[in-house]
Chains A and B, each alone.
Chain A
């Protein structure tokens, strides 16, 4: 099968084109660096099937980061039949810089002038035929987003792939032409493939080339000695870059006719950026946006309308009877939207899903199982083990989808890239560049792609530090833990608001990440913070298709996990909590004699300083089981709660007013656990903190292992996660229980910072 590679600058629309050509659903984001690995799809409309390879975005063929190496290696070593160079038409001059480098390789190529619709909308025009003539390479105008010009592009690419092409350089008119020519002849004599490309890179002093052609270096150095430039001296890299840009602005750029002759026209994006990326208001605006998202997702008092207007509850209005039941079906629907306060969109979606769909469906199934005449253990396994476990995870789908809908809107609109820019100044003080923010923010979705995205970081130490703190940015799978426990706290203790507790826990995760980075970059991972240069994409209205794809992805992820890993885990947990060591079946009330209780009680004392250990008495081990089950997948924590909560309800003497253990949101399971174990608010918050900062799920651990490279760094990372979670949760528990402990913790933190400062000063003096 013939292979076409898609190459171009970051955020020029490669993945959008890839999706349009192959019908794939690869993740598209409005910021540079979304794609960090190559991916493959099939285009079937040509005369023969074509394998299309989407490469990570690159600004040049001199790579600095791992994902740039992937792109360069593919073009040079895999020898695609054609390179489709995607050029952002709205940024012609800068995009053509990469074009001039690909042109030097002996590979057929076609230029796809993408975003031509946006360019023409702005009133500018590109003479594609003239550009094609000047470049001597086929040029096709396309809009990957609107799927315009794609058939023509592939037709021209297919034709080009059948014709052999020799590399050409735009440096033929520069002062270096003789030097490059001499090196090219020398390399051709050695039968080196792509001699022109390698010659230019060798003259540049590209490190990959220098190490690959060591034997040729003395000769090149001799050639170089004969050359000196008045402006750049012997900085050949700068000389070549200057030569390329001079040629581009002289020969290629004139094909672009701008509507306005003014060199800089302030766009709407520029105007918006004056406020959004303001050095004073930028961060408060970001925190406000983040709070608005949490309020819209979790608040049961939308815009605080209930408190402001003192709205009546459904009970006050006589729509709910003395038993707490709605008087008719319509009121049940109304209760999903309003009860003394208007609910936020996330809560409405959640109520409809759980009360009207999942609750009804699973309630019907559980009723059927109970009436089937099966024995007690079989009914328990199906209802309390499998159904409660799976439904407790599925019940969080609305909240997860709502939250990620808002995050996707921020990403697709281009705001996320601005946040990286806003935070760069702050990050720099902690030893990271703003570039590290993008993988971190991806961590709110899932740690696995976030860890992979750290490939965009050139500095190895910065990358290691970033990988270590990514799990602290609470992923979607941790959301059920947060919301169920926050809901349990509000419902049982009647304190706080679920949205504020959830928001606070997200901020705690961010704060832990910042402090950890500060300590790591001041001690074991010390190093220079690399400069941060990122192109800010233009703002645009989020694409409906992209948003839906992101949400579909999340739905698929959760449903698939619920019916695979979660279902298997709940079965194992149910069996281990309902059988004793001598393999005798135990009723729900007897779970303290189970295998699971026996094993977990051994570990219980370890968690005492964290607030969910021995102080919780004989049933305290249930929290330990949840935390350990979370190491497989974080959704397991709440699935375990649901399974164990059902047993705890049966424990003698349990009486919680209004408790409905069969409700699907896991909150009542938490209430049952609070009632039985006597855990307090500090212990519960510490439990959330522990799950947020401890070793992530096994998929994230495997990814971190692969990305960190060395075994020792991986082991240290595991130790770091364990220690951090232990310290953070014990801090939360002790300060929450005995506020004066805050003084001790502050003193300890000050001591650590003082130690780092003094140590670093001593190191500097020695140097």
Chain B
């Protein structure tokens, strides 16, 4: 196997692992899980369960 092919395997593996790791870290930090940070999204909510739970409590008290 040539050096460039070994390098290719390392780079490809690194890409897959880092993409998966960043997605998991983003989710744990409560950031937008798609990671695109679009301005139209304004989504920092995808995994912020605590804040959502609080917000839900408030909502339940609202008149329907």
Shortest Cβ gap from B50 to chain A (Å): 11
User: Of the candidates A27, A207, A375, A697, which one forms a contact with B40 in the assembled complex, judged by CB atoms under 8 Å apart?
Assistant: A27
Q: Return 23 A-B CB contacts under 8 Å, by A number.
A: A27-B38, A27-B39, A27-B41, A36-B42, A37-B43, A37-B44, A66-B55, A69-B58, A69-B59, A69-B62, A73-B58, A375-B1, A375-B2, A386-B12, A448-B34, A448-B43, A449-B43, A565-B35, A567-B15, A567-B19, A571-B12, A698-B34, A699-B34
User: Of the candidates A64, A374, A452, A702, which one forms a contact with B4 in the assembled complex, judged by CB atoms under 8 Å apart?
Assistant: A374
Shortest Cβ gap from A445 to chain B (Å): 6
User: Of the candidates B2, B23, B34, B42, which one forms a contact with A37 in the assembled complex, judged by CB atoms under 8 Å apart?
Assistant: B42
Residues of B within 8 A of A697 (CB): 34
* A 439-458 contacts with B by CB, 8 A: 442, 445-446, 448-449, 452, 458
Q: Are A571 and B16 in contact (CB under 8 A)?
A: yes
* B 10-64 contacts with A by CB, 8 A: 12, 15-16, 19-20, 22-23, 27, 32-36, 38-49, 52-53, 55-56, 58-59, 61-64
* Chain A interface, number of residues (Cβ within 8 angstroms): 57
Q: Are A702 and B47 in contact (CB under 8 A)?
A: yes
Q: Are B58 and A706 in contact (CB under 8 A)?
A: no
User: Of the candidates B4, B36, B42, B62, which one forms a contact with A208 in the assembled complex, judged by CB atoms under 8 Å apart?
Assistant: B62
Shortest Cβ gap from B6 to chain A (Å): 10
Q: Which of A25, A560, A698, A703 has the most CB of B within 10 A?
A: A703
User: Of the candidates B4, B41, B56, which one forms a contact with A449 in the assembled complex, judged by CB atoms under 8 Å apart?
Assistant: B41
Q: Which of A36, A39, A549, A706 has the most CB of B within 10 A?
A: A706
Q: Are B38 and A446 in contact (CB under 8 A)?
A: yes
* Chain B interface, number of residues (Cβ within 8 angstroms): 40
Inter-chain CA distance A442–B63, complex, in Å, is 27
The chain A residue with its CB closest to the CB of B16 is A568
Flag the segment in A184-192, A550-558, A638-646 that touches B: A550-558
The 3 closest A-B pairs by CB, nearest first: A699-B34, A568-B19, A27-B40
* A 153-209 contacts with B by CB, 8 A: 207-208
Q: Which of A556, A572, A702 has the most CB of B within 10 A?
A: A702
The chain B residue with its CB closest to the CB of A567 is B15
Q: Are A706 and B2 in contact (CB under 8 A)?
A: no
**Taking beta carbons and an 8 Å cutoff, which residues of B are in contact with A?**
1-2, 4-5, 8, 12, 15-16, 19-20, 22-23, 27, 32-36, 38-49, 52-53, 55-56, 58-59, 61-64
Q: Are A557 and B36 in contact (CB under 8 A)?
A: yes
User: Of the candidates A211, A381, A446, A564, which one forms a contact with B61 in the assembled complex, judged by CB atoms under 8 Å apart?
Assistant: A211
Q: Are B40 and A550 in contact (CB under 8 A)?
A: yes
Q: Are A703 and B46 in contact (CB under 8 A)?
A: yes
User: Of the candidates B4, B19, B47, which one forms a contact with A706 in the assembled complex, judged by CB atoms under 8 Å apart?
Assistant: B47
* Cβ-based interface call for A35 (8 A): yes
Q: Are A699 and B46 in contact (CB under 8 A)?
A: yes
* A 338-363 contacts with B by CB, 8 A: none
Inter-chain CA distance A724–B14, complex, in Å, is 38
* Cβ-based interface call for A128 (8 A): no
Q: Are B62 and A207 in contact (CB under 8 A)?
A: yes
Q: Are A449 and B45 in contact (CB under 8 A)?
A: no
Q: Are A709 and B20 in contact (CB under 8 A)?
A: no
* Cβ-based interface call for A757 (8 A): no
Residues of B within 8 A of A571 (CB): 12, 15-16
* Cβ-based interface call for A561 (8 A): yes
The chain A residue with its CB closest to the CB of B36 is A557
Residues of B within 8 A of A709 (CB): 52-53, 56
Inter-chain CA distance A634–B22, complex, in Å, is 19
Shortest Cβ gap from A386 to chain B (Å): 8
